[in-house]
């Protein structure tokens, strides 16, 4: 028997989630759909053969057949939905960002833990096949000590009015897209490494809104590694999702969406949907083979539902959502103060006091190795540091 799910929200992500949950002959089924408007609840129910629909959120959560509640609602409604799941003692999985800020996220984390219910944070971008393979390599030490992990998500802006309203959304592109980037960098650097402080530039460069539509930030971690995010709602050309990781022994570049190795040209005859937030369907296009898979939804739901069945925590829990919110709160404070701002973590379950990794490589008894390089004229150049004097010397062989 599979999971029986109540989907809260029938919009953009609710439908992606439903496509993924019901895909590939899956045994999991959505048995109840809640939507704000009757016609959209009914339409979703018809499209996904969902036996029960309602415009009352608690009715979907409390539906006797439902054992997992999937929150796909605007950001300002996550907390109320989570609290209703705690009351009903039903497993809950919530889309990103968990809260509009760390205060909301902390309340949600504390509530699910007090209620003793399963909780999963649906950060799909740390479940993509490319990301998972990259993370495996990083964890196996292929890149050595991780020094810098950058993630970029930029597109021409979200698709519903509530995103553009600071009160309902809780922020602009920092919260909407930065939450993905922060969790990607954090995973590469190590989720048990404490994020310490954030420096962020943000501005409203184009759109007539109160929130930021473009931002860049640095997140410093306790072990000296640096995370970076670049986010924008003003980027033209589609959905740009890229990660870069740099370590003492190697580098990874991931191009997740816009340039995936699938290029197509069409004059526009028979033009159709290309990919999320593609701005054109003629000319040279960059389609995505299988969005549900390539964006990590399938792997994410598999992890969530397996974890429920095996009575263990999923890879991403509300605790992770809370840490992400705390980092983003510091980014907002830094954008306002123009200073490095500390990450305030009332709850921290990772390592404490991790020192910066050692970077001295012995060449011989008297020297450290700085660099060795073969030249185009056939010799080997060594740059060494004398241990005793600290002098830097060059040896050519």
Q: Which stretches of the chain bind ligand NAD, using CB under 6 A? A: 9-14, 35-36, 40, 72-75, 77, 95-96, 122, 124, 160, 162, 176
Q: Are 56 and 31 in contact (CB under 8 A)?
A: no
As measured in angstroms, the least distance from the Cβ of 217 to ligand NAD is 19
C-alpha 66/C-alpha 18 separation (Å) is 15
Q: Which is nearer to ligand NAD, 70 or 138 (CB)?
A: 70
As measured in angstroms, the least distance from the Cβ of 315 to ligand NAD is 15
As measured in angstroms, the least distance from the Cβ of 28 to ligand NAD is 18
Q: Which is nearer to ligand NAD, 122 or 189 (CB)?
A: 122
Q: Which is nearer to ligand NAD, 167 or 192 (CB)?
A: 167
As measured in angstroms, the least distance from the Cβ of 364 to ligand NAD is 52
Chain residue whose CB lies nearest ligand NAD: 11
Q: Which is nearer to ligand NAD, 156 or 350 (CB)?
A: 156
As measured in angstroms, the least distance from the Cβ of 292 to ligand NAD is 11
As measured in angstroms, the least distance from the Cβ of 124 to ligand NAD is 5
DSSP string, 149-195: EEEEEE-S--SSGGGG-HHHHSSSHHHHHHHHHHHHHHHHH-TTSPE
| Helix-, strand-, coil-residue percentages of the chain, each rounded to 5 | 35, 25, 40
Q: Which is nearer to ligand NAD, 122 or 202 (CB)?
A: 122
Q: Which is nearer to ligand NAD, 75 or 298 (CB)?
A: 75
Distances (CA, A) of 21 to 51, 81, 98, 245, 294: 16, 20, 20, 31, 15
Peptide bond between residue 97 and the one before it cis (omega within 30 degrees of 0): yes
- Tell me the Ramachandran region of residue 190: left when phi exceeds 0, alpha when psi lies from -120 to 50, beta otherwise: left
C-alpha 316/C-alpha 307 separation (Å) is 11
Query: How is residue 362 annotated by DSSP?
Result: B
């Amino acid at each position: 028997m599979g999971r029986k799910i109540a989907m809260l929200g029938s919009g953009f992500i609710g439908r992606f989630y439903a496509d993924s949950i019901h895909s590939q002959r899956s045994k999991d089924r959505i048995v109840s759909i809640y939507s704000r408007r009757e016609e959209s609840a009914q339409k979703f129910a018809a499209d996904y053969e969902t036996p029960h629909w309602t415009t009352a959120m608690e009715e979907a959560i409390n539906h006797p057949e439902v054992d997992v509640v999937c929150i796909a609602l605007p950001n300002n409604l996550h907390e109320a939905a989570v609290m209703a799941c705690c009351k009903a003692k039903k497993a809950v999985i919530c889309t990103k960002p968990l809260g509009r800020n760390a205060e909301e996220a902390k309340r949600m984390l504390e509530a699910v833990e007090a209620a003793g219910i399963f909780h999963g944070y649906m950060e799909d971008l740390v479940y993509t096949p490319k990301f998972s393979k990259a993370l495996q390599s990083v964890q196996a030490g292929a890149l050595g000590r991780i020094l810098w992990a950058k993630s970029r998500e930029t597109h021409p802006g979200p698709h519903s009015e509530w995103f553009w309203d600071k009160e309902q959304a809780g922020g602009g592109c920092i919260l909407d897209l930065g939450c993905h980037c922060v969790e990607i960098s954090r995973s590469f650097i190590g989720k048990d490494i404490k994020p310490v402080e954030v420096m962020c530039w943000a501005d409203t460069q184009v759109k007539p809104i109160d929130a930021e539509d473009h931002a860049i930030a640095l997140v410093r971690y306790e072990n000296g590694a640096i995370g970076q995010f670049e986010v924008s709602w003003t980027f033209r050309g589609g959905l740009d999702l890229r990660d870069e990781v740099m370590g003492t022994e190697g580098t990874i570049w991931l191009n997740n969406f816009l340039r995936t190795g699938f290029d197509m040209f069409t004059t526009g005859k028979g033009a159709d949907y290309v990919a999320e937030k593609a701005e054109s369907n003629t000319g040279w296009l960059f389609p995505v083979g299988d969005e549900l898979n390539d964006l990590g939804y399938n792997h994410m739901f598999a992890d969530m539902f397996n974890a429920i069945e095996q009575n263990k925590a999923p890879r991403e829990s509300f605790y992770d959502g809370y840490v992400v919110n705390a980092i983003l709160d510091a980014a907002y404070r830094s954008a306002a103060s123009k200073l490095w701002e500390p990450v305030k973590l009332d709850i921290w379950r990772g390592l404490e006091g991790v020192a910066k990794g050692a970077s001295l490589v012995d060449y011989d008894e008297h020297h450290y190795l700085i660099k060795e390089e073969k030249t185009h004229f056939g010799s080997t150049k060594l740059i060494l540091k004398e241990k005793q004097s600290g002098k830097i010397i060059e040896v050519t062989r």
